[in-house]
Amino acid sequence: MTARLQRARPGSPELQALVDELAEKLGRSVAVADPLVRMVSTSRHFGDEDPVRIRTLLHGCADNAAIRHVLAHGVTQWSRPGFIDGRDDLGLLPRYVVPLRERGHLLGLLIVIEPEMALGDQETEAIARAAEAMAAQLYVEHIATDPRRTDERNLVLELVGTDVAARTAARRRAVELGLLGEAEHVLVTLVQLSRGPEPVRQSEAALRGVLEGFRQTPSAQGLLAVDQERAILLQLREGPCGPDQVAAQCARILDELRTFLHPSAAPVIGVGGRHPGLHHAWTSYEQALVAARAARRLPSLKGIGDWDLLGDLTVFLQLPEHTLNASLVPKPLRTLAEADGGDRLRDTLRCFLEHAGSISRAAEAMRLHRTSLHYRLRQIQEITGLDLDNGAHRLTLHLGLRIEELLTASDEAAA
């Protein structure tokens, strides 16, 4: 599958000159990629190009499978140059890779195609000298970009923060600077990572690289804040964003993050509610926090929590973590679980309540005769001591069942 990740920012003329000079000196194809293996600068061919290089030049980014193969060698954590193996099935020849670091920061990767996985001393010395110059150039460009990213990050945090005055000032500033228009609908998407083996800057690079492509789209304009193990994407749209659109966007984000990060990073996405106007961005963000918590706790959501689809679970998921435990399950429901046939009776109770107390619809859903259903319901009432004709009693049992489902799913996720 071809990567849909936005292409990295093109390299500067200064960097391109360094790449071309090294390529001519070696007589080999040379490229500089960013830490996500997205092409930044590349030389002309020297008859050593392979299908991966050709596809990368055509599409601006390598295939996901090729990127995963390169990153699987741990190149972003290398302290010295080394070779990566080729892969015939991917159309990838072996490459000599040099991590481009400056002041501890990984800024990119210098990549030289070398089918024989053997370089002479003069060649490795030339590569080392060029790598030093390239790292210095990338650092200069990185420093120039950082203040803009910091300003944008601070603006987003103010727009979604709890300080009303700061939110108002941030909205005015965003519009005056032309960063955001007056679109009618706001949507906040939160991406969270667990602590993986990658350095923090690699996680940040992955989050930024993936989400940059969603800042400006045909249907949305937005701002992005990236901070170690999380990213906040604030989007403004002319019309409301439907659940299918949201699901498709989130699926793309997760797919691309999983290409660049170790599985232990376990990214999850929380999508806030859709609201009219930028002044509701903070509300959408608070809801995105809850939705991300749902995505982390409920495996059935497959890493994506959407506030608008969570229903009554949003109530429970706003409780403090230490209180969200079995003590919330009502005693009558615990008594039912301990009784003979408790699982069967709980399933019956759940079906009855989810069909709004309709005997006919519940019996049909369970493929059960009405007489049998009445008998089970009488058993439930006797065991729990609650009256299923009483609205408050039914609510107690229904909420208890929902809490049980949430706790069971969370236990499965932890396992």
Q: Identify the CATH number of the domain in which residue 349 sits.
A: 1.10.10.2840
**At 115, phi and psi to the nearest 5?**
-60, -30
Please tell me which of 143-157, 193-207, 282-296, 314-328 the model is most confident about, judged by mean pLDDT: 282-296
Identify the band that residue 413 occupies on the pLDDT scale cut at 50, 70 and 90: low
Q: What is the pLDDT of residue 104?
A: 75
According to DSSP, the β-strands at 220-227 and 95-102 are unpaired
Q: Supply the pLDDT for residue 227.
A: 83
Which DSSP state fits 116? Answer: T
Buried b (16+ CB within 10 A) or exposed e, 355-393: beeeeeebbeebebeeeebeebbebbbebbebebeeeeb
Q: Quick one: pLDDT band at residue 2, thresholds 50, 70, 90? A: very low
308 and 332 inside one domain: no
Q: For residue 255, which amino acid is it?
A: D
Alpha-carbon torsion 61, 66, 71, 76, what sign? negative
- Judge if 255 and 346 occupy the same domain: no
336 pLDDT above the threshold of 70: yes
- C-alpha 20/C-alpha 139 separation (Å) is 19
Place of tokens 């959408």: 284
Q: Which segment of 161-170, 211-220, 249-258, 360-369 scores lowest on mean pLDDT? A: 211-220
The rounded mean pLDDT for the chain is 88
In a domain? residue 1: no
Residue 193 has a pLDDT of: 94
Residue 153 forms part of a structural domain:
no
The verdict on pTM exceeding 0.75 is no
Q: Are strands 304-306 and 268-271 parallel, antiparallel or unpaired?
A: parallel
For residue 234, the cross-strand partners are 188, 223
CA dist., res. 391 & res. 376, Å (int): 19
Q: Would you say residue 150 lies in a domain?
A: no
Q: What is the pLDDT of residue 331?
A: 93
Lowest mean pLDDT among 30-34, 201-205, 367-371, 396-400: 201-205
Q: Which residue has the higher pLDDT, 312 or 42?
A: 42
Mean pLDDT of 68-73: 91
Predicted pLDDT at 170: 92
What's the pLDDT score for residue 3? 38
Rounded to a whole number of angstroms, the CA Rg of the chain reads 27
Range of the domain at 406: 322-414
pLDDT (0 to 100) of residue 60: 67
Asked if residue 72 belongs to a domain, the reply is yes
pLDDT exceeds 80 at position 129: yes
How many angstroms separate the CA atoms of 140 and 142, rounded? 5
Above 80 in pLDDT, residue 293?
yes
Same domain, 303 and 389: no
Q: Which residue, among 204, 231, 234, has the nearest Cα to 216 in the 3D structure?
A: 234
Banded pLDDT at 300 (limits 50, 70, 90): confident
Tokens 């809490």 correspond to what residue?
A: 403
| 129 in the same domain as 29 | yes
Q: Report the pLDDT value the prediction gives residue 204, as an integer from 0 to 100.
A: 84
368 pLDDT above the threshold of 80: yes
195 and 330 co-located in one domain: no
* Residue 63 forms part of a structural domain: yes
- What span, in angstroms and rounded, lies between the C-alpha atoms of 249 and 255? 10
Report if residue 151 sits inside a domain.
no
Q: Model confidence at 5, in pLDDT bands (50, 70, 90)? A: very low
Contact (Cβ atoms closer than 8 angstroms) between residue 288 and residue 307: yes
Residues 174 and 302 in one domain: yes
The residue whose two tokens read 């990629």 is: 33
Contacts of 84 (CB under 8 A, 6+ apart): 69, 70, 73, 75, 94, 95, 97
Instruction: State which of 312, 333, 366 marks the end of a domain.
Output: 312
Let me know how many helices (H) and strands (E) the chain has, helices first.
Answer: 15, 12
pLDDT score of 198: 67
Q: Residue 342 to residues 298, 329, 346, 356, 357: CA-CA distances in angstroms?
A: 24, 15, 6, 21, 19
- pLDDT tens digits, 347-358: 999 999 999 999
Q: What is the DSSP letter of 87?
A: B
**Residue 191: partners with Cβ closer than 8 Å, 6 or more residues away:** 207, 211, 230, 231, 233, 253, 257, 267, 268, 269
Q: How confident is the model at residue 183 (pLDDT cuts 50, 70, 90)?
A: low
Element (H, E) at 268: strand 268-271
State pLDDT tens for residues 377-387. Answer: 999 999 999 99
- More confident position, 11 or 323: 323
> Region 226-250: what's the mean pLDDT?
88
* CA atoms of 267 and 261, how far apart (whole Å): 9
Percent of the chain with pLDDT over 90: 53
Which of 312, 330, 353 lies at the terminal end of a domain, its last residue?
A: 312
Residues 122 and 94 in one domain: yes
The two tokens of residue 322 are 């230490």
Question: How confident is the model over 76-80, as a mean pLDDT?
Answer: 90
User: Of 312, 343, 374, which residue is a domain's last?
Assistant: 312
CATH of the domain at 223: 3.30.70.270
pLDDT for the residue 182: 61
Q: How many domains does the chain have?
A: 3
Q: Are residues 132 and 175 in the same domain?
A: no
Are both 168 and 265 inside the same structural domain?
yes
Q: Is 240 helix (H, G, I), strand (E, B) or coil?
A: coil
Let me know whether 208 and 283 are in one domain.
Answer: yes
Q: Is residue 7 part of a domain?
A: no
Residues in the chain: 415
Distance CA 191, CA 203 (A): 12
Q: Which of 61-65, 187-191, 258-262, 380-384 has the lowest average pLDDT?
A: 61-65
Identify the burial level of 197 via C-beta atoms within 10 angstroms of its C-beta, where 0-12 means exposed, 13-18 middle and 19 or more buried. Answer: exposed
Interior/surface letters 257-267, b for 16+ CB within 10 angstroms, e for the rest = bbbbbbeebbb
Q: Give the other-Cβ count within 10 Å of 49's Cβ.
A: 15
Domain presence at residue 128: yes
